Structure formats: structure tokens, C-alpha cells
């Protein structure tokens, strides 16, 4: 990492939780830890945004696919109902044809 001049002198208070996070971060001093944490978060932000956009697009595409599959399933369901109706009508006609055949053979 390039050594930069540190011309900004500030003092600030922070919570115990922030202290734990800072103390766990890489660096030889609290100032170095703070700087490394800020740079890590800032530099990683663009990658996280890109990953978020990629996952968001994936979700949008998946929802579209599921909607299309649902529409197709609805159409297939209607076709099955229609085919069952046709099957029942064929069975009815077959019975009626059997009655007609019996009547024809009796004569």
C-alpha cells in the first residue's frame, strides 16, 4: 500500500462495539487500524454494489422464469381438463354405440 501523508488530525469518540471492531482489524496502531478499516470498506463497496446488482438481476430473471412456468402450467392444466372432458365424452359415445350395436344385432 502506498504511503500517504496524514494531514488530517481529528479526535472522536466511539462505542465499545466500534472499539472491538477496530481492535480486531489489521494495523500496528489504532490510527492504522481505523484507516485500514475505512479503506477496506470503501474499496470493497464497488464490488459489493456490483454483486448486489448481479444478484438482483438474477432474482428478477428467476421471478420472470417462475411466472412463465406458472403460466405454462396453467395452460397445461386447462389442456388436461379438456382432454379429460373429451375422454369422458368418448366413453359416453362408446356406451351409446354399444347400445346401438346390440339393437342392430337383435333385428
* Average pLDDT of adjacent 10-residue blocks, the chain of 107 residues: 72 89 92 92 93 98 98 97 98 92 79
* Residue 30: partners with Cβ closer than 8 Å, 6 or more residues away: 22, 23
Provide the pLDDT for residue 86.
98
| pTM greater than 0.95 (yes/no) | no
Q: Measured between alpha carbons, how far is residue 81 from residues 72, 76, 85, 87 in Å?
A: 14, 9, 6, 10
Q: What pLDDT sits at residue 107?
A: 62
Amino acid at each position: 500500500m502506498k504511503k500517504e501523508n496524514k494531514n488530517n488530525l481529528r479526535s472522536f469518540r466511539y462505542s465499545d462495539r466500534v472499539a472491538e471492531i477496530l481492535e480486531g482489524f489489521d494495523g500496528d496502531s489504532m490510527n492504522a487500524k481505523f484507516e485500514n478499516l475505512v479503506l477496506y470498506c470503501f474499496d470493497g463497496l464497488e464490488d459489493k454494489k456490483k454483486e448486489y446488482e448481479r444478484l438482483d438481476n438474477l432474482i428478477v430473471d428467476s421471478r420472470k422464469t417462475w411466472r412463465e412456468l406458472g403460466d405454462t402450467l396453467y395452460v397445461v392444466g386447462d389442456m388436461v381438463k379438456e382432454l379429460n372432458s373429451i375422454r369422458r365424452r368418448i366413453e359416453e359415445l362408446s356406451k351409446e354405440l354399444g347400445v346401438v350395436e346390440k339393437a342392430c344385432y337383435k333385428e
